[in-house]
Amino acid sequence: MLYYIGAISLILIGMYAVLTKKNLLKIVVGLSIVDSGVNLLFISVGYVKDATAPIFSMPSLTADKMVDPVPQALVLTAIVIGLATTAVALGLVIRLYDHHKTLNINKIRQLKW
């Protein structure tokens, strides 16, 4: 339960940053916090009490005493993809800064009409 609360708070805090912060880098930070929160949520949904990791390294381990491996497999790739997208976002931020000499989205008015 504690894990759920932690994950949901991370998601909400990240979303708050995305919705209200004016600094582009802060928005990307917020996105990466949301990312972490979602990952934690996934893994904690897959957890089973008193179970082991889903690796048959010893003959004594049995399948019904293991946590759900599917969320783990999903989160594993999600983290790597998250890094890649963050990198792309930061590249865009650098480019925008280059062009406008500011990170404040209120001053970057190219999308506005």
Query: What one-letter code names the amino acid at 21?
Result: K
Least Cβ distance, residue 19 to another protein (angstroms): 4
Cα gap 39→42, rounded to integer Å:
5
Instruction: State the nearest-atom distance from the C-beta of 61 to another protein, in Å.
Output: 9
Q: Shortest Cβ distance from residue 99 to another protein (Å)?
A: 11
Cα separations in angstroms, 11 against 54, 67, 102, 110: 27, 24, 27, 29
Residue with tokens 């790597």: 80
Rounded to the nearest 10 degrees, the angle between the axes of helix 2-20 and helix 24-45 is: 160
